[in-house]
A and B are shown apart, each in its own frame.
Chain A
Amino acid sequence: GQQVMQIPQYQHVQEGEDFTTYCNSSTTLSNIQWYKQRPGGHPVFLIQLVKSGEVKKQKRLTFQFGEAKKNSSLHITATQTTDVGTYFCAGPRGGADGLTFGKGTHLIIQP
């Protein structure tokens, strides 16, 4: 079945350093979504990428969708303590409604 994998599982950074998480799908995706979940919170939708090679920016966050539409990345420039949380990528379930989520990357920031 379809698998969505994320690396790394955990990332410790000093405040002000950059952070990148990578997402890989076993199948080609029509689109990919990114969510952020704060500790004890619920997933919050960040963005959806649709086009091959697409790059989108939200302030310090840069999202990319690979040319083959099987991988994606999220890069955060100059992390802040408010960036703490788990970042999930998700793709459509093959041939069905709903999403398949990766296991997420936990971002831990040391002041």
Chain B
Amino acid sequence: NAGVMQNPRHLVRRRGQEARLRCSPMKGHSHVYWYRQLPEEGLKFMVYLQKENIIDESGMPKERFSAEFPKEGPSILRIQQVVRGDSAAYFCASSPTTGTYGYTFGSGTRLTVV
């Protein structure tokens, strides 16, 4: 069992560029959660997706951020026109069903905007 896979591990983008973060859930898991962690902060919920559906995106900024979880392939968190404030660690977690369980997190993507 490969666990939750995220890539890239580190991503550097210039201001105004696009960032694409990928998350492959654990085998058999159809629910994906994205969290953002600023330095010295806890994790903040961003979005919850099931295959082909966005269930809850209440934690995601209204502009420049989008997420998808297609029928085939990984979940993608997309940040357009990045700004310095987007620099953070982005983690995803997956679960086999709804409800609250102990999450298995991926290793995260550390985004640095220069």
Contact = CB atoms under 8 A, between A and B. Distances in A.
A30 interface: yes
B63 interface: no
Given A45-B102, A48-B102, A92-B100, A98 B91 contact: no
B56 A43 contact: no
A88 interface: yes
Interface residues of B, number: 26
Interface size on A, as a range, is 20 to 34
B53 interface: no
B43 A88 contact: yes
B98 to A, nearest CB: 6
Nearest to A89: B42
Given A42-B107, A44-B105, A99 B45 contact: yes
Contact of B42 (A31, A41, A44, A102): A102
B55 interface: yes
B71 interface: no
Given A42-B91, A43-B91, A100 B104 contact: no
Interface in A87-111: 88, 90, 92-93, 96-104
Contacts of A97: 31, 33, 48, 55-56, 98-100
B64 to A, nearest CB: 21
